Amino acid sequence: AQSVAQPEDQVNVAEGNPLTVKCTYSVSGNPYLFWYVQYPNRGLQFLLKYITGDNLVKGSYGFEAEFNKSQTSFHLKKPSALVSDSALYFCAVRDGGGATNKLIFGTGTLLAVQP
């Protein structure tokens, strides 16, 4: 069965510092991995995804994520955090070998960037 773990409920970082939001996954086939961001009372906004190819994926708003197959991880990173990055971040996985396109989401990590 597919699953996603986001081990941190909240991440606090000072503006200008690098940030990392952690995600690990479990699938039976090759993973398709996604990061979404959710602002208060808004829907989910797509940030980036890994399907195949280069392990380092670059996405919107300066975010990037690194796929690590041996550690089954897909951590979200940004070199310099902004206060406006404060939001709820979700990691999601689709089993690339499966017949369904459904995504399995983690429980979310609240990112708080202090000025």
**Could you give the residue ranges of the DSSP H alpha helices within 32-112?**
none
Is residue 59 involved in binding other proteins (CB under 8 A)? no
Q: Side chain identity at 54, as an amino acid letter?
A: D
The token pair at 103 is 């995504």
Q: Is 72 left (phi over 0), alpha (psi -120 to 50) or beta?
A: left
Is residue 96 involved in binding other proteins (CB under 8 A)? yes
The token pair at 30 is 């090759």
Is residue 46 involved in binding other proteins (CB under 8 A)? yes
Site size with other proteins, rule: CB under 8 A: 25
Three-class SS state of 84: helix
Among 24, 27, 108, 111, binds other proteins (CB under 8 A): 108
Name the one range near other proteins by CB under 8 A: 18-26, 69-77, 78-86, 105-113.
105-113
Residue reference for tokens 């690194």: 66
* Pattern 21-40, other proteins, x by CB under 8 A: -----------x-x-x----
Is residue 43 involved in binding other proteins (CB under 8 A)? yes
Report residue 60: phi and psi, to 5°: -75, 155
Is residue 70 involved in binding other proteins (CB under 8 A)? no
